[in-house]
Every structure is written in structure tokens, then in C-alpha cells.
């Protein structure tokens, strides 16, 4: 291959093409699919005093986990970054250092402008940019924190501009995300040939890779790809080359890239037959109680979608119970918002990719699937629920993770299960002998008069669209109605007045058929 046709470029040369003030977009899903070397290269060049300065970043999904794969944290430097728009942000403290992610620190200290968009919007907006449309128009998100009549997706006081608008079309209200140009896209692939054709065969997710490349080229921008290896031209079938070289300007090689934090490479994330050995086990405690109760709501045959957090423990419970044995895994059609179907939905830092998946689609198509009503059942975690039936997972107790795929999922499922502990911040409760003993109540109430932010108005969903919704905690189960919450199950050992009504800041109804939660949950 002649030097004139090869797109393989040293890292420093590729990063040097990024100019002050550019809008830079990057693929990545937590620790998966992150072009870590490229993002680190940008941060290192800035730290050395060679720029670039005043960049804006567009992350369709939160990029990096701020642990071994730092992702967006590499560019979280004052002066380097002016504005960030992301589908979600990493909030948990680093278990090794106890520190928050640098990007969240800058946001909390008002050092940069920051917006959180629903991931469905980030994905579908890219499609509109790619076809040079005016922007993305959707009903998803009306009445939530992304609505400019509420927060407009702004995460701090420094962030002033409304970049999402309310428009009326055909007599109905929509949210409108106007088009703006992307100057640089950062991608990651498994391999590339010297012509720039990219293969993602060793990646468990494709996410926004193709959409980012198409959108950036439509804006006249540059696409830089990070790969683990260079392969000969025409050495693989065309079906294994997922992004054509016509969309790629430069290729940088990093043979050390990990699949994810704690995962150098694991073929189980690419498919294969279920092997129940070495699966994580949900440890004893109240999270396990909640996951076991929620697992009773999962039906074979329904496409079930699971959100980040405690909800991801539900499939592991099903696996423990043997429901995936003897081909049962193929009767449980499980997915997440990131485009992977079948297999075992993972929890913690491994969330987004599944073990032993059956199929995979790109991120924008996954949100077509979700918004088309093809996930009738959703299990999602929650942080707050208020008297008006507004549910919050996007901003609470000093954390601002954004909504991820929550809004699209919750808006379009028919049956919703929200899971979480009854209170937070020091809750000590011990299940045993078919009962629950609450030794110390949590300092933070989660059933509040007014939620800190509206991620999804579940009360309106029930009243206006006929959704079914329930809330499952370690001590109680509620049904959400158009008039509020109704207590339907209570754990043995829990006092109705002290432990439930006394911890809820608004009136709740009690079913005349109130029953004890299954004592087996507490054994």
C-alpha cells in the first residue's frame, strides 16, 4: 500500500488536526467501544500547552467509566472544554480513590457548560444531521427535564442557552433538537485496513459508530478511528467491514485497548451458547429481595428491557432460578438500550453488553425499536418518586447522571416496573426467616413531595396512555394509578405507619386487599 493511499496515521498527527473551538463527537458506551487513546491524546496535547482549546464535545452515550477506561475524563480540563452534551454521565465515586469523575466535578463547580440529552435523542439527532435535515422532532421527553419549560437539559447555572425547543406541528407539541455541525468524530473499531475500512467484529456493541461517521462527513468534518490492528485490504468478507473507508480520514493503532474495565477480551460478549458457570451472583441482602420480587413480573416471550442499576440484577436472579436452562434463555427475549439482544444482561460496569447475545443492531435502530413500542416490559431503577407521580433518576443528592435511555424506554413500554430501596443513605435492613428487620432507616427519603427533577411523569403515562406501573422496594410494593400510589404488598416485620407512611412525604392509599410479600423472598 503506497503512503499516498494509506490512512494509518501516528496518534500525535491525528490529534493535531483538531482545531480550537471544534465540536468533537465520540463513540463509547460506559467502558465499551471507547477510543481511549484518542481522548487521552487530546488531553495530553492540551496539558503540554499545544492546544486545542475551547472544544465542545458531543457524546451520544456517556464515554468511559472514569476507572481503567477514563474516556471523557481525559478531556475534562478547564480551558480545553467549553461545552459538553452527553446522553449520560458517570457519577459513582471511584471505589479506589473515593473521588468523583472529573467531568462531573467540572459540571458541579460551574467550570463548563453541560447538557444531558436522552440517548434516544442523541441517536436520532445524528440521523437528521447525516441527511442534512433541520433537526430532530419528537414527542418523547415532553414534560420531562429536557423540556425547556422545565430544565431544558441544563445541568448547572453556567449553562444558559436553550438548545432544545418546543415546536407545534399539526396542532400538537413536539420537542425539537436543531441541527448543528460536527467537526470531528472519534470512533473505535477492532481492525482497519490501510484504506480505512473498519471492522467491529470483536466489539460487543456498535452503538453510534456508523451514525457518527455519517453525520460528521455530512458536516464536512473529519473522522478519526482507533483500532487494535491493521489488516490486509480485502482480507475479510465485506460483511465484516462495518464502516467503509469513504467515511474515515485517519486511522490510529492502539494494540493495548481493553474491551472494558476488567475485561481485556472475552468472547462470551460476542455470542455463543449459554454457559452458566462463572456468572455473577446477586449477594444476600435487600437488593436481592427487590430483584427476586421483580423477577416475578418478567414473562417469557415478552421483549423485556432492563435499565442501569438494580434492575440489571433481575436476569441474574432468573439465571439462578434455572429459568435459562434447557433453552429457556431463548424464551426470555432480553435487551438494553444499546442494541444487544438475548443472553444475560450484565450489571455494574459491565452493563450495556450482554453475555452470550443472539443479535446486535446499531444504536439509532435500537431506539427505533424502543420508540416503536417493541419492548412491552421494562424494569428500571429509580431515585425519587413524588406526589404528582413524577419519577426522577437524572438529578438527585448532588449527582447528575442524566437519563440515559430511561425516557424513551419508560415512554414506550406498556408495563413498567421501577425498583429501588425505600430510602437511601445508610439504610440497614436485614432479611431473614421470611421477614424484614429494619435496624436503621436511610437518611434520604425517595418518596418526596416534589422530585428534584422530572425524568418521567409516570402518573401521566398511566392516566393518559394506559400504562401499567408498579414500584418494588425491599419492604413494600405499590401500584401506580392515575390518582397516586396504592400499597398492595408489605413485608412481614414492617410497620405500616412508622416504616412506610412515616417515610413518605405524601398520602398513599392502601389496598383493601393488602397482602404480605412472599416470605420466601426474605429467606
Phi/psi of residue 314, nearest 5 degrees: -60, -50
Contact 194, 9 (CB under 8 A): no
* Radius of gyration of the CA atoms of the chain, in A: 23
Give the start-end residues of each E strand in 228-356: 229-230, 250-253, 303-306, 333-335, 340-341, 344-345, 354-355
Q: Is 337 a catalytic residue?
A: yes
Distance (Å, whole) CA 471 – CA 32:
30
Distance from CA of residue 355 to its chain's centroid?
Answer: 17
The per-type count for the chain, helices as H runs and strands as E runs, is 10, 33
Measure the CA–CA gap between 225 and 9, rounded to whole angstroms.
10
Q: How many CB atoms lie within 10 A of CB 93?
A: 13
Selection from 46, 340, 362 nearest residue 187 by Cα: 362
Q: Which of 399, 90, 54, 41 is nearest to 252 (CA)?
A: 41
Options 320, 337, 441, 489, the catalytic residue: 337
Q: Contact at 8 Å (CB) between 521 and 493?
A: no
List the Cα angle 97/102/108 in 5-degree steps.
Answer: 115
Name the nearest CA neighbour of 155 among 115, 95, 205, 192: 115
Q: Do 167 and 137 contact (CB within 8 A), yes or no?
A: yes
* 166 three-class SS: strand
Q: Which residues pair with 484 in a beta bridge?
A: 481
**Angle 41-46-49 (CA atoms, 0-180°, nearest 5)?**
130
Sheet strands (E) in 238-353: 250-253, 303-306, 333-335, 340-341, 344-345
- Contact present, 183 and 222 (Cβ < 8 Å): yes
Pairing verdict, β 184-188 and 23-26: parallel
Using the 8-state DSSP alphabet, how is residue 29 labeled? B
For β-strands 423-424 and 428-432, DSSP reports them as unpaired
Q: In whole angstroms, what is the distance from residue 185 CA to residue 164 CA?
A: 22
3-state secondary structure of 292: helix
Q: Catalytic amino acids?
A: 337
Amino acid at each position: 500500500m503506497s503512503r499516498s493511499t494509506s490512512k494509518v496515521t501516528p496518534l500525535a498527527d491525528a490529534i493535531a488536526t483538531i482545531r480550537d473551538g471544534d465540536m468533537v463527537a465520540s463513540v463509547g458506551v460506559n467502558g465499551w467501544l471507547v477510543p481511549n487513546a484518542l481522548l487521552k491524546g487530546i488531553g495530553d496535547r492540551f496539558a503540554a500547552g499545544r492546544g486545542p482549546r475551547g472544544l465542545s464535545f458531543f457524546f451520544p452515550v456517556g464515554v468511559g467509566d472514569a476507572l481503567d477506561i477514563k474516556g471523557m475524563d481525559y478531556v475534562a480540563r478547564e480551558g480545553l472544554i467549553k461545552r459538553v452534551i452527553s446522553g449520560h454521565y458517570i457519577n459513582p465515586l471511584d471505589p479506589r480513590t473515593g473521588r468523583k469523575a472529573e467531568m462531573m466535578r467540572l459540571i458541579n463547580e460551574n467550570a463548563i457548560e453541560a447538557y444531558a440529552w436522552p440517548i434516544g435523542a442523541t441517536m436520532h439527532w445524528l440521523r437528521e444531521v447525516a441527511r442534512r435535515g433541520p433537526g430532530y422532532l419528537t414527542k418523547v421527553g415532553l414534560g420531562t427535564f429536557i423540556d425547556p419549560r422545565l430544565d431544558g437539559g441544563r445541568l448547572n447555572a453556567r449553562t444558559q442557552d436553550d438548545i432544545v425547543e418546543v415546536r407545534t406541528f399539526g396542532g400538537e407539541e413536539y420537542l425539537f433538537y436543531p441541527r448543528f455541525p460536527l467537526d470531528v468524530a472519534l470512533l473505535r473499531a477492532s481492525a482497519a485496513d490501510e484504506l480505512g475500512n473498519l471492522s467491529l467484529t470483536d466489539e460487543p456493541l456498535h452503538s453510534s459508530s456508523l451514525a457518527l461517521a455519517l453525520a460528521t462527513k455530512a458536516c464536512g468534518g473529519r473522522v478519526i478511528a482507533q483500532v487494535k490492528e491493521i489488516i490486509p485490504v480485502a482480507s475479510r468478507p465485506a460483511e465484516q467491514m462495518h464502516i467503509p473507508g469513504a467515511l474515515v480520514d485517519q486511522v490510529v493503532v492502539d494494540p493495548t485497548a481493553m474491551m472494558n474495565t476488567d475485561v481485556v477480551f472475552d468472547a462470551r460478549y460476542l455470542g455463543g451458547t449459554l454457559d452458566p458457570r462463572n456468572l455473577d451472583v446477586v449477594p444476600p441482602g435487600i437488593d436481592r429481595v427487590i430483584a427476586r420480587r421483580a423477577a416475578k413480573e418478567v414473562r417469557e416471550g415478552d421483549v423485556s428491557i432492563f435499565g442501569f442499576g438494580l434492575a440489571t440484577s433481575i436476569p441474574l436472579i432468573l439465571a439462578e432460578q434455572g429459568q435459562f436452562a434447557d433453552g429457556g434463555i431463548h424464551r426470555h427475549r432480553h435487551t438494553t438500550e444499546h442494541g444487544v439482544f438475548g443472553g444475560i444482561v450484565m450489571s455494574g460496569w459491565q452493563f450495556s453488553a450482554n453475555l452470550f447475545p443472539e443479535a446486535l443492531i446499531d444504536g439509532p435502530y435500537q431506539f427505533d425499536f424502543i420508540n416503536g413500542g417493541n419492548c412491552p416490559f421494562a424494569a428500571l431503577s429509580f431515585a425519587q418518586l413524588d406526589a404528582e407521580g413524577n419519577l426522577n433518576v437524572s438529578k438527585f443528592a448532588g449527582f447528575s447522571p442524566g437519563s440515559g435511555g430511561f425516557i424513551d424506554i419508560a415512554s414506550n413500554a406498556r408495563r413498567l416496573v421501577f425498583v429501588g430501596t425505600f430510602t437511601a443513605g445508610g439504610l440497614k435492613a436485614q432479611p431473614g426467616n421470611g421477614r424484614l428487620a429494619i435496624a436503621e432507616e436511610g437518611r434520604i427519603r425517595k418518596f418526596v413531595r416534589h422530585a428534584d427533577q422530572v425524568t418521567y411523569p409516570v402518573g401521566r403515562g398511566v392516566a393518559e396512555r394506559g400504562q401499567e406501573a408498579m414500584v418494588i422496594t425491599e419492604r413494600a410494593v405499590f401500584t401506580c394509578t392515575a390518582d397516586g400510589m396504592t400499597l398492595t404488598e408489605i413485608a412481614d416485620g414492617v410497620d405500616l405507619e412508622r416504616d412506610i407512611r412515616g417515610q413518605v412525604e405524601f398520602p398513599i392509599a392502601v389496598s383493601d386487599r393488602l397482602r404480605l410479600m412472599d416470605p420466601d423472598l426474605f429467606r
